[in-house]
Structure 1
C-alpha cells in the first residue's frame, strides 16, 4: 500500500461508519494496474468483526444475466424465504430457481437490498465488487439500485471499476475515490524493491517514465524484459498503450511455462466462475496432470484456493490471447463435458467448441436463450441466439434466430449491437415477414435509442409492410406509432397522427379482435373522422378496458386507454384505468412503467382535489427516479405546483422541464407545461398571462387531455381580461367536444364556460347547471371552480348575500384541497362581500421531511416496516431509522400516538 495513505484513510472511515450502524457506498476508479484490487484487499483485511463478501466482473460473463449478483448472493440463498413474496419470487426467477415471467430488474434490486439488510442484522456487512466494468448489465443495475438506497443497514458497498463509462453507470451518485499514479518517491521505492539486480540509471529512469506511477507496471515491466533489455534498455515503449505493454509482459512470462501448464491456465481463463473442481475435472478430461499447476503457482501467476484467482485480469486476457483457435475449442469442449449441472453454461461452451454449423448445438443454444429471456436476461438471450444463428445450417432458420437475437439486444439496450445484427439479417436474404420485422426493429431502435423524429414514420412503414404478413403484429405496430407520434406532438416532423390513423383504418381486422384492436379503431376514428364521430367508439373502448381482467397482458396499453378517458371527459374511466395502471405497475414491480403511471395518477388526484395524496405520489415518483436512476418529464410536479399556487416553484420547474422536454422530443410535455402555467395564472388572477399560456396549450388538440383543459383556461382567462371574441371562439371549440362526450364533467365544464360569456341574468342558470353536473363527479376541483365563478358573478351582480354561500363553499374546498392561489382568490372575493375569511394555514406536521412525512403516513395507516419499505424502495431497517426520527420530532413514542399527532388529512391520504 505504498503511497496510498490517504486512500486507506477513506476506506478506514467507511469501515468505521458501517460498524457504527450507517451504510456507505464508494466507487474506486482508475486504470488497469493502478491498485484498485489491492485497496479492496486492504479493506477486507481490516474488516474484522464484519462479514465480507466479494464478487468480480468477468469479461466473458457479461452476457449472463445476474452472474455477478449470483456470486454475491450464492452463500445466502437460504435466506430468500425471509423476503416479501414479490421480492423472493423475483430473485428466485433471476437465479433460475423457479420458472416465472421475467422478473422486473428493479424488483430484483429491491430484493437484493432486503437480503443485504437481513444479512447485516447479524453483523456489519462489507460487499466488495472488483472489475465492475465487466459486470453483466442486470447485476450492475441491481447493485447501482442498492447503492442509491443504502442508509441505515450497516452495509458497506465498494465498487472498483476501470473504465469511465462503467463508473458513470455504477457510481455517478457515490463518493468516488479516483486513483492516480504514485508520486515519484514512492514509485522509485516500489520499482527498486521489484528489481532482482541493480539497473543502470538511464534504464531505471526509462522504466519509471514508462510506468507513470502505475504500481502494477512498476512491478511487471521489469519481469517482462530480458536481461539484455534490462541491461541496455533496448525495449522501447513505442506506441503500445500501457495496459497493452503489461499484457505483452504477461505473455512473455507465459512462454517459458510447460505446455500442460499453459493449457491449464487456458482452462482457468475460459472458465469464468473460478470453480476449482470444474478446473481439475476439465484438466483430467484433457489429460493434464495434477502437477501442471505448480509452475504457474511458483511464478505467482495464479492462486488455487477456494477459487481460482489470476494475479491480474490482464493476465487472464493474455492467456486467452496466446491460445490458438484449436486450443480454445478443445478447452470449451472439455468444459462442456464436465459442466453438467448448468445447462446454459454447458450450451455456451458447446457453442464455442463448434468449428462449423451444427443444428443440435444451435438448438441447445436457442433453448438456453429462452431460459435467459424468462429470467430477464435479454443480453444473455441475445448472445445465445447470435451464436445459435452462426451455427445454424438452414438459411431461413438462421435468419429467424438472427432476428430474435436483434430483438433481445434491443430489449437489453444494446443499440449498437442491435444495429449490427439487423445489418447481418438483411444480408441473409430475409423472406417478406422477416424483412418486415427488420423494418419494425429499426423503427423501435430509433424510438428507444433517441426518441428520434424518425420513429413514427418508421413504425408506420413497418406496420404497412406487416399488414399482409401478420395482422396482429401490424395492428400493435400502429398503436406503437400512435404512441410515438402522440408523445412527439407538435414536435413531430413528417408523419403525423392523421396519416397514421388513415393507414390504421385500412388495416385488416383480425378474426378475434382484442381490446387493443378496439383502441386502435377508436384512435383511428378520432384522428380521421373527428372528435364527435369518434366519441361513441371511444366510450366503448373505455368500457371494454374497465371490464377486462386486470392481468399483465392488459397493462401495455393502459396509458393510451387512460389518456383517452381524460380526452373524453370520462372521469370515472380515467380514475379506474389510471388506478389499475398504477396498482399493476406496483404489484408486478414494473418500475419501468411506474414513473408514467405515477405522473398520470397525480393529475387524476389533482382534478379530484386530493392535493395531499398527489404530493405523496409525487414523493413516490421521486423515490422511483432515485432508485432507478431515471425519470420522465415532471408532468405531475408541474400540475401540483400550479394547483398549489406556488409561482416561483412552478416557474423554476417549467424552465427546467422545457429544456428537458424539447431535448426528449416530447411535444405533449410543452402542452402540459403551458396548460399548468395557464392554470396557475388563472388562480392568481393574472388573466392576461393566463391567456397567452392557454392559447399555446390549446393550439394542438392532437395532444390529448391537456389541450382540452387549455381551452377551459382560455375561456376563463379571455372573458376575465375583456377579450370576449377570443373566449367565445374557445367556447365553441370546447362545446363541440363536451356535447359529444355528454359526461357530467364535460357538461359541467361547458355550462360553466358558457356562463362566463353570457350577459345578464341568463348566466345564472348556466352556473347552477354547471354545479349540478359537477357535484356527483370525481373532479371536485372543477366543482370548486364553478362555485367560485358563480360567487364572483353574484357579487358583481350586487347579490352579496347569495355570493357568500358559493364563495364560502369554494374557499372551504380550496383550503381543504391545499389550492393556495384559488383559496386566496376566493378569500379576496369573500372580503369584497363584507365577510372576512382568515387565511388558513395548513396544519403542521412538525419539521418532517417529505420522506419522513410519507413514512409517517404509511405507518399511521398500519403498514408494517417491510410493507413501507417495499412501497418506498427502502429496507425495513431504514424505515425504522426514519420512524425513530419522526417520533422524536413529533414527541410521540408509538404508532398509536403517531395517528393522533398527524393531521387527519395526512393520515387519510390514499396511496391511489
Structure 2
C-alpha cells in the first residue's frame, strides 16, 4: 500500500488476496460467519490488507485490536480491546455469561470465570452485535496477544458459523506457526516482479541501474515494506555497492535496522517520544502526552517522527509498522527504557488499571523493591481471579526478582512455577524451581517443590525415563508429606503403566507404592487398584478400580483423567467414561488449565469415536492440536489413532501408525506400541484383510496394556475367526471372558457375547449375536454396535437367510456411512450386495443425511430446550443453533419443532 497524491492509499497488486477478502465480506453479508488467518513475514502487507478489508466493511461495523509485545503478559488484554466497542450488547446475554465477561475484564469482582464460559460469552456478544448488521472483527499481530486471549479467540474461531461475523487475524511468519493453527489461512507473500518494481520506483531518488533494481527486487523477494524502507536514504552508489553487504542478515532484521538508523537521526526528545509510545501498549494518546509531560517532552517532539513517517498521533497512537515499535525499543539504553516505564507508571491510574501500573513499575525498578513486589503479587491474585494463569506466573516471577527477602523470594518463585505449569508451560518451570531452592523452604513447600519437579519431568518426557525420578521423589516425600507422596506414587505408577513393555519397573513401583496409606478418595483408590492390578491381576483389582471411578466422577478432578480414562475402559464402564471425559473438558476449560485441556480433549474425542460421532471427535482433536502447538505439550495420540483406524483410509492410517511406533520406541513409551497394534488390527479388520489384522492383534496382546488389551482381544477374536484360525479365536475369547465376567457391565457382556458368537459353539451363535446387539444398544455405543450388526449380518448371509441379513447389514452400512467409517462401510456394502440388494451411493439430489451435530440439536430441541440453552450445551451461539434448525427443517421437510419427533422417527 502506498500513499497517492491525494493523500489516500493504493494497494498495489494483491488481486488474489483482495478477491479472497471480498468473498469473505459477501459471505458475511449473506448471513454466514467466516474466519481467516493472514500469515506472512513482517512487511508483506498483512496490515494493509486488513485496512483494505476495513475500508470495505459496513460503516460502524468494525472492531479492531492488535497484539503488542509488552502486553502479552496481561490476561485478556487483546480480547478486552476487541470487545470494548461491543459491550453495549452485553445485557441480552445469560447472566452467568455477563458476569464471567465482567470479571475477566476486571469490571467487577467475582469468582474466577472459566475459559469456556468466557468463550461462550464472547460468542454471544459477537452474535448480538451482528444481529444489527454484519460485524467485522480484526486482530493484527496475533503472535503477540496474551495467552488467554489466544485461547478464547481459538475457541471463537472454531464455533462461529451463522452469525454474520468475520474474524480476520494477521500473524507473522516465520515464528507464528504455533498460533491459531487448523483454521482457514491466506498466505501473504511478496509482490509479483512487475508490482514490486513499480513500488520500488516510488521511493528511488534517482536513476538506478536496471540490474541493481532487479537485485533489490530479488533480495527483498517482493516484500513491500523492504522495498520501501531498505533503499531509503541510500545513494545510487550505495544501492549498487552497499545494499547487498548485509544480505546475510534476515530480511526482518535488515528492515528494522533501517528504522533504527532513521530513529537515530531524530532529535533526542523525539527518540524518547517514540520509546515511550513503544512501551505504552494501549495506544492511549492522552496517557502518552501525560507521560511525555512527566519527562519534560513537549508537543513539538512529535513533528519529526511524523515527518519521517514512523508514527501517527490521531485519536490513537499508531506506528507505521510493528518493526518501528521494536526498533524504537531496541534503540534505547536500559536507563532510557526504565525512565519511560517510570513515567507511564506515574500517569497510569492505580485504581482503574493497577496491573499495568504495577507492570510498568516493575520494569522501571533498578534493584529490589518490596513495594513493587507486593503490587505484582496482588496483580497475580487478580490475574488468577480472572482465569489468567500465564499472566499470574509472569507477575509472580517478576515479584520474586524484586524482593530481597530470601524466604519470600523462594515462596514467590515456587508459586510462579506452579502457575507456569498450570498454564501449560512446563519447560519454563525448572529454572523457577532452581530459584526457589536457593531460599529457605518449609516442609510443605519442599514437598510441593519435589512433587512439581516430578510432574514436570513426566510432562516433558512421558517415556520410560520418567518413572524412576517420580518414584525417587515419592520415596523422599514419604516423611515430608504422606498425602503428596501418595499422589506422586500414583504418577510414578501411571508412568510405569505408560512405559509398558519398554519400562520394566511396573512391579517395583507398585510394591513401593504400598508403603503409604492409600486412602479412600479417588487418587487413593486409583493407587490401590492399579497396584493390585499390577501385582495380583485383573479380578482382585476390578472392584477397587470401579470405586475409584465412582469417587472421581463426584470429585471431577481432570488432573487424574490420564489414568482414569484407561481404567474406565479396563473395567468396561462406558457411562462413567462418557461422563468423566465430558466433565474433564468442562473443568479444564473452566479453570483455564491449559496443561490439562489438550489431554481432556483427546480423551473426550476417544469417547466420541466409540459413540460413533467421528465429526465431533475430529473437531476436538483439531482443537487439541492447536493447544498442543500453543503450549508445547503433546497430548497422547490415542483418539487420533483410533479415529484414523476406524475411518479406514489405509495409507494415511498406516503412516500415522508407523510414525507412532517409531516415536514410541525412541521415547520408551511401550503403551503406544500396544495402541499402534490395536489400530492396525482395526484398520485391517475393516478392510477385510484378516490375516494382517490377526498378526497385528497377536503381537499387541503379548503384553497386557491397561485397557488396550481388552480392545485388542476383541479384534483378535474377529480376525482369527475370519482368517480360519478357530483355535486362536477360542483362546482369545477365553482370555477376554476372564475380564468381562468380572466387569459384568452391558458393555463387557456385549463384547463377550460377540466373541462367543464368533468363536463359540455354532448352534448358539445367533443367540449370542442377538444378546450382543441388545447389550450394546443399551450402552449407546454406536461404533461397537454397528460392528456387531455387520458381523451378525455376515453370519446370516452365510446361513442363506438373505432377508434377515439385509436388515442387519443395511443398518450397519447406514451407520458406518453416517459416521465416516469408510472401510467398514465398504465391507458392509459388499456383504449387502451379496444378498442381492443394490447398494446406492449418495448422489446430488438425494435426501441429505443429518450430521451428528444436527441430530444432537434436534434431540435437545425435542426436549424443549430453547436456542440459547442448546447453544450453551453445544458451545454455539443461539443464531447458529437457529441456522442449524432451519437446515434441519429443510432436510426433514417440516415446518416447526413440533414435527421433529415424527420426522426423525420416520427416518
**TM-score when scaled to structure 1?**
0.79
Match of 1:901 in 2: 903
Residue 348 of structure 1 deviates from its aligned partner by: 1.0
8 Å CA contact 1:750–1:770 kept in 2: the answer is no
Match of 1:384 in 2: 395
Residue 393 of structure 1 deviates from its aligned partner by: 1.2
Residue 860 of structure 1 deviates from its aligned partner by: 4.3
8 Å CA contact 1:335–1:349 kept in 2: the answer is yes
Bigger Cα displacement from structure 2, 841-850 vs 556-565: 841-850
Change (3 A) 1:757 1:38: closer
**Separation in structure 2 between the aligned mates of residue 166 and residue 827 of structure 1, nearest angstrom:** 45
Bigger Cα displacement from structure 2, 373-382 vs 339-348: 373-382
Aligned counterparts, 1:401-440, within 5 A: 401-414=412-425, 416-422=427-433, 440=451
**Separation in structure 2 between the aligned mates of residue 772 and residue 420 of structure 1, nearest angstrom:** 56
Match of 1:52 in 2: 62
**Separation in structure 1 between the aligned mates of residue 780 and residue 231 of structure 2, nearest angstrom:** 78
**Separation in structure 2 between the aligned mates of residue 30 and residue 828 of structure 1, nearest angstrom:** 48
**Separation in structure 2 between the aligned mates of residue 79 and residue 521 of structure 1, nearest angstrom:** 53
Aligned counterparts, 1:507-656, within 5 A: 507-508=516-517, 514-545=521-552, 548=554, 552=556, 554-557=557-560, 560-561=563-564, 563-569=566-572, 571=573, 574-576=574-576, 578-583=578-583, 585-586=585-586, 589=589, 592=598, 594-599=600-605, 601-602=607-608, 614-615=611-612, 617-627=613-623, 629-630=625-626, 649=648, 654-655=653-654
Match among 875, 878, 894 for residue 876 of structure 1: 878
Residue 380 of structure 1 deviates from its aligned partner by: 1.7
8 Å CA contact 1:20–1:154 kept in 2: the answer is yes
Q: What is the DSSP-based 3-state SS (H/G/I as helix, E as strand, rest coil) of the residue aligned with 2:55?
A: helix
Bigger Cα displacement from structure 2, 321-330 vs 735-744: 735-744
Match among 45, 51, 54 for residue 41 of structure 1: 51
**Separation in structure 1 between the aligned mates of residue 888 and residue 457 of structure 2, nearest angstrom:** 47
Residue 795 of structure 1 deviates from its aligned partner by: 14
Gaps of 5+ in 2: 3-10, 591-596, 629-634
Match of 1:400 in 2: 411
Task: Write out per-residue CA displacement over residues 466-518 of structure 1, whole angstroms, 9 at most, x where no aligned residue.
Answer: 3332332332233333444444544xx335433332222123557xx533212
8 Å CA contact 2:471–2:492 kept in 1: the answer is yes
Bigger Cα displacement from structure 2, 888-897 vs 351-360: 888-897
**Separation in structure 2 between the aligned mates of residue 86 and residue 538 of structure 1, nearest angstrom:** 36
**Separation in structure 2 between the aligned mates of residue 186 and residue 810 of structure 1, nearest angstrom:** 65
Residue 866 of structure 1 deviates from its aligned partner by: 3.3
Residue 234 of structure 1 deviates from its aligned partner by: 7.2
Residue 269 of structure 1 deviates from its aligned partner by: 1.6
Q: What is the DSSP-based 3-state SS (H/G/I as helix, E as strand, rest coil) of the residue aligned with 1:303?
A: strand
Aligned counterparts, 1:317-396, within 5 A: 317-339=326-348, 340=350, 341-396=352-407
Match among 288, 293, 305 for residue 297 of structure 2: 288
Change (3 A) 1:818 1:871: same
**Separation in structure 2 between the aligned mates of residue 149 and residue 828 of structure 1, nearest angstrom:** 38
Match of 1:27 in 2: 37
**Separation in structure 1 between the aligned mates of residue 363 and residue 493 of structure 2, nearest angstrom:** 43
Match of 2:143 in 1: 133
**Separation in structure 1 between the aligned mates of residue 237 and residue 439 of structure 2, nearest angstrom:** 52
Q: What is the DSSP-based 3-state SS (H/G/I as helix, E as strand, rest coil) of the residue aligned with 1:524?
A: helix
Does residue 116 of structure 2 align to residue 122 of structure 1? Answer: no
Change (3 A) 1:745 1:818: same
Residue 58 of structure 1 deviates from its aligned partner by: 0.8
Residue 83 of structure 1 deviates from its aligned partner by: 3.2
**TM-score when scaled to structure 2?**
0.79
**Separation in structure 2 between the aligned mates of residue 788 and residue 201 of structure 1, nearest angstrom:** 75
Residue 740 of structure 1 deviates from its aligned partner by: 5.3
Match of 2:278 in 1: 269
Task: Write out per-residue CA displacement over residues 844-882 of structure 1, whole angstroms, 9 at most, x where no aligned residue.
Answer: 963445544554454444443334444444433333334
**Separation in structure 2 between the aligned mates of residue 651 and residue 148 of structure 1, nearest angstrom:** 28
8 Å CA contact 2:549–2:576 kept in 1: the answer is no
Residue 303 of structure 1 deviates from its aligned partner by: 2.1
Q: What is the DSSP-based 3-state SS (H/G/I as helix, E as strand, rest coil) of the residue aligned with 1:126?
A: strand
Bigger Cα displacement from structure 2, 73-82 vs 723-732: 723-732
Match of 1:159 in 2: 169
Residue 522 of structure 1 deviates from its aligned partner by: 1.7
Residue 596 of structure 1 deviates from its aligned partner by: 4.0
Match of 2:631 in 1: none
Q: Count residues in correspondence.
A: 868
Residue 595 of structure 1 deviates from its aligned partner by: 3.0
Q: What is the DSSP-based 3-state SS (H/G/I as helix, E as strand, rest coil) of the residue aligned with 1:158?
A: strand
8 Å CA contact 1:451–1:664 kept in 2: the answer is no
**Separation in structure 2 between the aligned mates of residue 682 and residue 722 of structure 1, nearest angstrom:** 14
Change (3 A) 1:621 1:461: same
8 Å CA contact 2:608–2:616 kept in 1: the answer is no
**Separation in structure 1 between the aligned mates of residue 686 and residue 171 of structure 2, nearest angstrom:** 52
8 Å CA contact 2:720–2:728 kept in 1: the answer is yes
Task: Write out per-residue CA displacement over residues 654-696 of structure 1, whole angstroms, 9 at most, x where no aligned residue.
Answer: 5355246436646556545655776898899997666545434
Match of 1:65 in 2: 75
**Separation in structure 1 between the aligned mates of residue 825 and residue 54 of structure 2, nearest angstrom:** 60
Match among 1, 4, 8 for residue 12 of structure 2: 4
Give RMSD over aligned pairs: 5.2
Change (3 A) 1:875 1:744: closer
Residue 807 of structure 1 deviates from its aligned partner by: 10
8 Å CA contact 1:422–1:438 kept in 2: the answer is yes
**Separation in structure 2 between the aligned mates of residue 149 and residue 74 of structure 1, nearest angstrom:** 21
Match among 463, 472, 475 for residue 483 of structure 2: 472
Task: Write out per-residue CA displacement over residues 435-472 of structure 1, whole angstroms, 9 at most, x where no aligned residue.
Answer: 76566545444543464443333333333333332332
Task: Write out per-residue CA displacement over residues 50-88 of structure 1, whole angstroms, 9 at most, x where no aligned residue.
Answer: 512211111111222221111211122232343345544
**Separation in structure 1 between the aligned mates of residue 721 and residue 232 of structure 2, nearest angstrom:** 86
**Separation in structure 2 between the aligned mates of residue 267 and residue 709 of structure 1, nearest angstrom:** 62
**Separation in structure 1 between the aligned mates of residue 267 and residue 796 of structure 2, nearest angstrom:** 102
Residue 176 of structure 1 deviates from its aligned partner by: 0.8
Q: What is the DSSP-based 3-state SS (H/G/I as helix, E as strand, rest coil) of the residue aligned with 1:91?
A: helix
8 Å CA contact 2:208–2:236 kept in 1: the answer is no
8 Å CA contact 1:808–1:826 kept in 2: the answer is no
Match of 2:890 in 1: 888
Residue 142 of structure 1 deviates from its aligned partner by: 2.9
Change (3 A) 1:659 1:287: same
Residue 250 of structure 1 deviates from its aligned partner by: 3.2
**Separation in structure 2 between the aligned mates of residue 516 and residue 215 of structure 1, nearest angstrom:** 59
Larger radius of gyration: 1
Residue 428 of structure 1 deviates from its aligned partner by: 6.7
Change (3 A) 1:773 1:37: closer
Task: Write out per-residue CA displacement over residues 816-837 of structure 1, whole angstroms, 9 at most, x where no aligned residue.
Answer: 988999999999999x9xxx99
Change (3 A) 1:257 1:699: same
8 Å CA contact 1:456–1:495 kept in 2: the answer is no
Task: Write out per-residue CA displacement over residues 99-142 of structure 1, whole angstroms, 9 at most, x where no aligned residue.
Answer: 56655545544433332232222122222222222222332343
Does residue 319 of structure 2 align to residue 310 of structure 1? Answer: yes
